[in-house]
Amino acid sequence: MVRNILLVLIVCVKVSCYTQAQNIKVFSWNIRMDTKNDGVDQWTNRKKELANFVKNENPDFFGIQEGLSHQVKYLEKKLKDYDYIGVGRDDGAQAGEFMALFYKKKLWKPIKSGNFWLSDTPSQVSRGWDAACHRITTYGTFVNKGKDTITVYNTHLDHQGVLARTNSVTQLNQLINENKYPKILMGDFNFNPQNQLYTNISAIWSDSRLATKNVKESQEGTFNGFKTDLTPKERIDYVFTDPANWSIIQYKSANVYSKNSRHLSDHNPVMVELALIKKSTFQYRWKVVDYDTLPFRVMYPLDFDPNKKYPVVLFLHGAGERGNDNERQLIHGAKLFQDSIHSYQAIYILPQCRAGSYWASVDVNRTPGNNIFAFRDDVNPTKDLGNVIDVLNTTIKLPYIDERRIYVGGLSMGGMGTWELLWRLPNTFAAATPICGGGLESKAFMMVNVPIWTFHGSTDDVVGLKYSQQMVDALYLNNGKPKFTVYPGVGHDSWTKAFAEKDFLKWIFDQRKD
């Protein structure tokens, strides 16, 4: 029986790219402390069914919040396939609530474990800042028979102290750089996705609910307050992962009831099935910006190291790939990036524009045999491009991003979005590759310092060659020096030839901002 302190739940896994690791199932559940004030919902009336629920779900790791010593020992007794690590937060031994982490002892062996308090003196039993209670994080490193090595953090942020929650998020974000292993961070964070602290932590960690298409829940909220007549609305319990190393197979959170139709806790469990990524692939992401959702896919190098600096490639699809399936945007370009990621290690972001919308601010007049595009100088970008800007700006601030190497490109409608991003985000990009697009000539003066290589087919009847030509001419008038490749006899699909250019990626990655 390992007895160390563990309060956030970080699962780190190191795996060879040639080994097949099985899926891992993790639970985070605030089981509610034992208090007589809960009346019919007190621990003694729900503990058996709660333990049976966990046993039947059979997770690899089960991180609890609020469990007192006798609650932890009861679960240890009932969950015979599990051992645990963790200590009481009030004395580092048995007093106060545990952030205990249960693990399947036949599958995982702990090789290191520990804890830290969320305070200015994390190595000592201490209360941080304006917190109402001592708050602790428990972590452990585990290895299985397949030599997958994992570390787990399980935590519970303060319910009252605003400064305590703010500083705790800062502490937790620093964990992302602690080692090169894949990580999982889970617990009760006491803030919802509309809170700025969620924005702060989800900029560093990936919210598992927004990283899979397979979301199963009766409602988004996780705090039910034992109220059976109300739908939980507050999502305050999370399973986060480091963004590069995990594929989320399924996210699940739902009301769990006793045989007497009572909640088994005042929080719903968050249950996530996930797997290590064994080759670089485009991972699912959804970004919520002002209650609006942008689907996008992101790919990291297989051996991603958060202590290194990586360039970013943002690529915008054309009108034919619009939607909300978070898949169609991979039709063009994704294979080139995926096949080349070992040679050109970067973080690739491919967002998806919703059906009926547009990346660029443009009026489109489609007449028989002629498509006319009138680009606008709107104060604000379209909603979809604005969401892309939000994702990009958030990404650029990450500690492992090389701000000298931010690249943008796109085809057709995405080429238009590329031209617009060049003037909406001046001094951001090290290079741009707009393909068969067009833009606002009056803004060319804002782009002259960016290396641009643009492409177009000479017989394009969807977006006429003149729209790229006009941008190139405007750049030359402003002393710019763009590269311009025109493919004779090629129609709208000039991207196939552009992607086949021997130096297409090399030219992009050779560019750096001073």
265, 50 contact by CB (below 8 A)? yes
pLDDT at 12 over 70: no
Q: Assess whether 251 and 340 both reside in one domain.
A: no
- pLDDT of 207: 98
Q: Assess whether 33 and 170 both reside in one domain.
A: yes
pLDDT at 41 over 70: yes
Please report where in the chains the tokens 């609890």 appear, as a residue. Answer: 64
Q: How confident is the model at residue 146 (pLDDT cuts 50, 70, 90)?
A: confident
Q: Assess whether 271 and 291 both reside in one domain.
A: no
- pLDDT of 13: 37
Phi and psi dihedrals of 215, rounded to 5? -105, 120
Please report where in the chains the tokens 């929080």 appear, as a residue. Answer: 267
Q: Rounded to the nearest 5 degrees, what angle is found at the Cα of 461, between the Cα atoms of 371 and 456?
A: 110
Q: How confident is the model at residue 8 (pLDDT cuts 50, 70, 90)?
A: very low
Query: What is the number of alpha carbons within 13 Å of residue 289 lying toward its C-beta?
Result: 19
Can you give the CATH number for the domain in which 502 is found? Answer: 3.40.50.1820
- pLDDT of 89: 98
- Residue-wise pLDDT for 208-249, tens only, equals 999 999 999 989 999 999 999 999 999 999 999 999 989 999
Domain boundary residue among 276, 308, 333?
A: 276
Average pLDDT taken over every residue of the chain: 93
Q: Assess whether 306 and 421 both reside in one domain.
A: yes
Beta strands 370-375; 401-411: pairing state: unpaired
The stretch 502-509 carries a mean pLDDT of 97
Cα dihedral: 218, 220, 223, 225 (round 10) = -50
First to last CA, the chain: 56
pLDDT at 292 over 70: yes
- Residue-wise pLDDT for 95-124, tens only, equals 999 999 999 999 999 999 999 999 999 999
**3-state SS assignment for residue 244:** coil
264, 306 contact by CB (below 8 A)? no
Q: How far apart are CA 356 and CA 374, in angstroms?
A: 17
Q: How far apart are CA 32 and CA 45, in angstroms?
A: 12
Q: Is 2 a member of any domain?
A: no
- pLDDT of 180: 78
- pLDDT of 59: 98
- pLDDT of 227: 96
- pLDDT of 177: 86
- pLDDT of 147: 85
Q: Assess whether 152 and 169 both reside in one domain.
A: yes
Could you tell me what percent of the chain has a pLDDT over 90?
A: 87
Q: Assess whether 188 and 238 both reside in one domain.
A: yes
**3-state SS assignment for residue 165:** helix
Integer CA distances (angstroms), 260 to 7, 40, 222, 264, 356, in order: 31, 10, 20, 10, 49
pLDDT at 15 over 70: no
Greater model confidence, 98 or 177: 98
- Residue-wise pLDDT for 352-384, tens only, equals 999 999 999 999 998 776 789 999 999 999 999
The DSSP bridge partners found for residue 288 are: 293
167, 180 contact by CB (below 8 A)? no
Q: Assess whether 291 and 271 both reside in one domain.
A: no
- Residue 448 domain boundaries: 283-510
**3-state SS assignment for residue 399:** coil
Integer CA distances (angstroms), 286 to 212, 291, 315, 324, in order: 8, 12, 16, 10
- Residue-wise pLDDT for 483-495, tens only, equals 999 999 999 999 9
Q: Is 449 a member of any domain?
A: yes
**3-state SS assignment for residue 282:** coil
pLDDT at 4 over 70: no
Domain boundary residue among 257, 276, 295?
A: 276
pLDDT at 434 over 50: yes
pLDDT at 14 over 70: no
The stretch 466-487 carries a mean pLDDT of 98
Q: How far apart are CA 209 and CA 223, in angstroms?
A: 16
Q: Is 150 a member of any domain?
A: yes
How big is the chain, counted in residues?
514
Q: Assess whether 244 and 288 both reside in one domain.
A: no
Q: Is 115 a member of any domain?
A: yes
Q: Which amino acid is at 255?
A: N
The stretch 400-426 carries a mean pLDDT of 98
Q: How confident is the model at residue 278 (pLDDT cuts 50, 70, 90)?
A: confident
Weakest mean pLDDT among 18-27, 77-86, 277-286, 394-403: 18-27
CB atoms within 10 A of CB 85: 27
Q: Is 19 a member of any domain?
A: no
- pLDDT of 333: 97
pLDDT at 262 over 60: yes
Number of folded domains that form the chain = 2
Q: How confident is the model at residue 475 (pLDDT cuts 50, 70, 90)?
A: very high
Helix (H) or strand (E) run with residue 337 in it:
helix 334-340
Q: How far apart are CA 182 and CA 304, in angstroms?
A: 9
Q: Assess whether 305 and 379 both reside in one domain.
A: yes
463, 438 contact by CB (below 8 A)? yes
Model's pTM, two decimal places? 0.91
| CB burial of residue 89 (10 Å; 0-12, 13-18, 19+) | buried
- Residue-wise pLDDT for 312-340, tens only, equals 999 999 999 999 999 999 999 999 999 99
Q: How far apart are CA 342 and CA 346, in angstroms?
A: 9
- pLDDT of 447: 97
Q: Assess whether 266 and 300 both reside in one domain.
A: no
Can you give the CATH number for the domain in which 62 is found? Answer: 3.60.10.10
Domain boundary residue among 227, 254, 276?
A: 276
Q: Assess whether 262 and 379 both reside in one domain.
A: no
- CA gyration radius, the chain: 26
- pLDDT of 150: 81
pLDDT at 5 over 70: no
Could you tell me what percent of the chain has a pLDDT over 70?
A: 96
Write the DSSP symbol of residue 474: H
The stretch 246-266 carries a mean pLDDT of 96
- pLDDT of 373: 96
Q: Assess whether 455 and 329 both reside in one domain.
A: yes
